[in-house]
Amino acid sequence: MRFNVQFLVAALFLAQDIAAAPLVGSSDARALAETGDFVERSAEPAVVLPRTTVKKTTAKKATAKKTTTAKKTAAKPATKKTTAAKKTTTAKKTTTAAKKTSTAPKKTTTTSKSSTAAASCKKKRALTLTSTLGKRTTHFTKATAPSSIDIEIEGTKFALTKFTGNDDGNNGVVYRDSAGDFAKTPLSGTLAKEAAATKAVGQLKAHGTDTCTDTEWLISFAAKGANLQNTSAFRTAKAAGSAQCQELAEKAATLTVAKAKSIFDSTKINHGDLNAGNVFFDDAVTQVETLIDWGSASKKTSFPTLVATNQAKLSFKALC
């Protein structure tokens, strides 16, 4: 009986061991299963693939760097050639520029000479006129006008000497050039209108502004003939008495008006100032040689015969 109890106890322990063995195996299996599940989860692409990609990208960058370096290394010889070509081109341009520069100074020198000549001209003229005028001006006055002056109009030079043969009039100062022709500079205003009329009647020699003094000048051809009081006919009539002198004066006025009308008929320009000083006759006073001073001239539709006649008679009879 005692044996049976011991046997039963041993059998129970054995049975417990046998029953416990599957439980342990089952626990180990679960542990292994859980471990495998962790490994599978840990092996997801999100973790492994980025590392692989980074390595590949790094490899690509390294390859790219090598390629770039290779290109740069290969390009170096070409760069040297290109640099040489650039230097050659630059040298050519520099040589061409040097040639142009060599030409430029010559032109500059010419311009410089012209500028120097002009400056010298103005300086010389200024020194000549300073004591008389006080400053450079575009108009002289009768008191400040120099006795002689050299002028240049449109490239032509004229040496002028102040004319003292008769009164200059009220609108200008009169000079004569080396050829004996008359030059006038205005006391004020401009001579443009007079120059146009003088040109229309064929008496204009030159008109313009002197390049040195900035003064305006009108040069007309010297008149043929003589003023009435300088003719032989007038001297004879004057000596014969007042009646003969008045008769000659009236004749002179008639001839003058006829001449003025003749010019008007061909140009439509009325002289407008038929005083004795503007009319030149032949010595016998049979015709008018020249009418000068077209400063009062104007275009008209008809010739003012009455006004012209009265003006001429009054001026000529005053000489007797």
User: What is the spatial distance between Cα 119 and Cα 126, in angstroms, rounded to a whole number?
Assistant: 10
Cα–Cα distances in Å, from 212 out to 104, 114, 148, 157? 28, 13, 14, 11
Confidence of residue 258 (pLDDT cuts 50, 70, 90): very high
pLDDT at 98 over 80: no
Q: Is 29 helix (H, G, I), strand (E, B) or coil?
A: helix
User: What is the spatial distance between Cα 40 and Cα 224, in angstroms, rounded to a whole number?
Assistant: 135
pLDDT at 199 over 50: yes
Nearest CA to 292 among 177, 189, 164, 205? 205
pLDDT in tens, 32-81: 444 444 334 444 444 444 444 444 444 444 444 444 444 444 444 444 44
Nearest CA to 272 among 181, 176, 206, 193? 193
Report field, pTM of the whole predicted structure over 0.85: no
pLDDT in tens, 209-248: 998 999 999 999 999 999 999 999 999 999 999 999 999 9
Structure tokens given for 175 = 């000079």
Partners of 72 in the β-ladder:
none
Instruction: Provide the angle, in degrees to the nearest 10, between the axes of the packed helices 242-267 and 305-317.
Output: 150
Q: What is the pLDDT of residue 142?
A: 84
Task: Return mean pLDDT, the chain.
Answer: 75
Return all residues near 148 (Cβ < 8 A) that are at least 6 apart. 159, 160, 161, 162
